[in-house]
């Protein structure tokens, strides 16, 4: 106990504060509880449904869980971007494996929606959500920039449109997900895309620019990779850029296709085309894949 008190005294004197003040404060502090630490009451007050259909609550909670899992992935990626150049391969591999565990939960959790809501309820309450769309989840858009350069988020046929003097805003207009909110033939933009960019466009552009050459792909390209790290990166690319969009697509098909009739999404995107990884062609770590694998993107499995 004397040693602990000595360390406390030293800590707060180094902070130029009287240690006795903090010790007296500790004396009067209430015991910490689980519900206060986790903020359970606040957390369970955040589910605000738009209708009276019971299954809408499931829809809201599931998407909030998804955002928390994306926050865990972001947490690991930010550490990698801050210290990755100094990290040993084993440390990077540990972070990648953590991300993969979060991504596996994302992928495996889609059954909560695909098997957990009544078809009729979903197709009623979803009408009250327009023009909101999962397209507008900025968390994953930022994860993309933390992982790779913006050029790897542009579909192959559009890469030739990136000129030498293209700004990051110019490049952003060509990324794969713009196709969900824009008709390339007419140039017409959806309300979903306009609202999304009104809120997030400056953040997206600044993040893409700040992460250029400093993202996870840039970090791993500057080192000799071990087989285990390469396999972890392949798994991460597959989970986030092949399996997850396929899970999303299959869930959408469960609720938006009936008797051969395709229903429009709340964001009015051509979701059946847009969601398939073979169309998106997003790949975070190109060097860990063969040309044959890239040409067959979305049609293979990585264990």
Write the CATH number for 174. 1.20.58
**19 within a domain of the structure (yes/no):** no
**249 within a domain of the structure (yes/no):** yes
Looking at residue 22, what is its pLDDT?
Answer: 87
Long-range contacts of 76-81 (CB under 8 A, 24+ apart): 76/102, 77/143, 77/146, 77/147, 77/216, 78/146, 80/146, 80/216, 80/219, 81/146, 81/211, 81/214, 81/215, 81/216, 81/219
Q: Which one, of 136, 154, 142, lies nearest residue 196 by Cα? A: 136
**220 within a domain of the structure (yes/no):** yes
The residue segments making up the domain with residue 107 are 51-295
**95 within a domain of the structure (yes/no):** yes
The pLDDT tens digits along the chain (303 residues) read 789 889 988 999 999 989 899 888 888 998 999 999 999 999 999 999 999 999 999 999 999 999 999 999 999 999 999 998 999 999 999 999 999 999 999 999 988 988 899 989 998 999 999 888 888 899 999 999 999 999 999 999 999 999 999 999 999 999 999 988 877 778 788 898 999 999 999 999 999 999 999 999 999 999 999 999 999 999 999 999 999 999 988 888 887 765 454 555 544 456 677 788 999 999 999 999 999 999 999 888 898
Report the domain count for the chain. Answer: 1
Looking at residue 267, what is its pLDDT?
Answer: 43
Q: Which one, of 124, 150, 278, lies nearest residue 204 by Cα? A: 150
**29 within a domain of the structure (yes/no):** no
Three-state DSSP string of 18-75:
CHHHHHHHHHHCCCCCHHHHHCHHHHCCCCCCCCCCCHHHHHHHHHHHHHHHHHHHHH
**Full-model pTM:** 0.90
CB atoms within 10 A of CB 102: 20
**35 within a domain of the structure (yes/no):** no
Looking at residue 270, what is its pLDDT?
Answer: 61
**185 within a domain of the structure (yes/no):** yes
**183 within a domain of the structure (yes/no):** yes
Tokens at residue 18, please?
């009287």
Q: What is the largest CA-CA distance in the chain?
A: 76
């Amino acid at each position: 106990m004397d040693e602990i008190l000595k360390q406390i005294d030293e800590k707060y004197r180094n902070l130029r504060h009287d240690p006795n003040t903090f010790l007296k404060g500790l004396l009067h502090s209430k015991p910490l509880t689980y519900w206060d630490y986790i903020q359970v009451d606040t957390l369970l007050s955040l589910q605000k449904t738009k209708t009276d259909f019971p299954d809408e609550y499931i829809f809201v909670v599931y998407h909030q869980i998804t955002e928390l899992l994306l926050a865990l992935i972001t947490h690991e990626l930010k550490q990698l971007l801050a210290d990755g150049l100094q990290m040993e391969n084993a440390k990077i591999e540990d972070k990648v494996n953590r991300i993969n565990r979060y991504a596996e939960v994302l992928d495996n959790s889609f059954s909560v929606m695909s098997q957990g809501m009544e078809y009729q309820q979903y197709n009623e309450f979803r009408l009250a959500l327009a023009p909101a769309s999962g397209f507008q989840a900025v968390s994953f858009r930022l994860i993309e920039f933390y992982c790779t350069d913006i050029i790897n988020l542009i579909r192959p046929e559009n890469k030739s449109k990136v000129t030498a003097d293209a700004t990051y805003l110019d490049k952003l207009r060509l990324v794969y997900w713009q196709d969900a909110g824009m008709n390339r033939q007419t140039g017409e933009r959806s309300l979903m895309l306009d609202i999304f960019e009104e809120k997030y466009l400056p953040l997206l552009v600044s993040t893409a620019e700040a992460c250029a050459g400093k993202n996870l792909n840039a970090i791993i390209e500057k080192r000799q990779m071990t087989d285990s790290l390469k396999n972890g990166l392949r798994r991460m690319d597959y989970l986030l850029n092949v399996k997850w969009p396929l899970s999303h697509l299959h869930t959408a098909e469960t609720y938006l296709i009936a008797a051969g009739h395709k229903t429009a999404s709340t964001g009015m995107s051509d979701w059946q085309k847009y969601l398939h990884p073979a169309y998106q062609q997003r790949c975070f770590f190109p060097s860990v894949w063969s040309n044959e694998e890239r040409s067959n993107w979305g049609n293979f499995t990585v264990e």
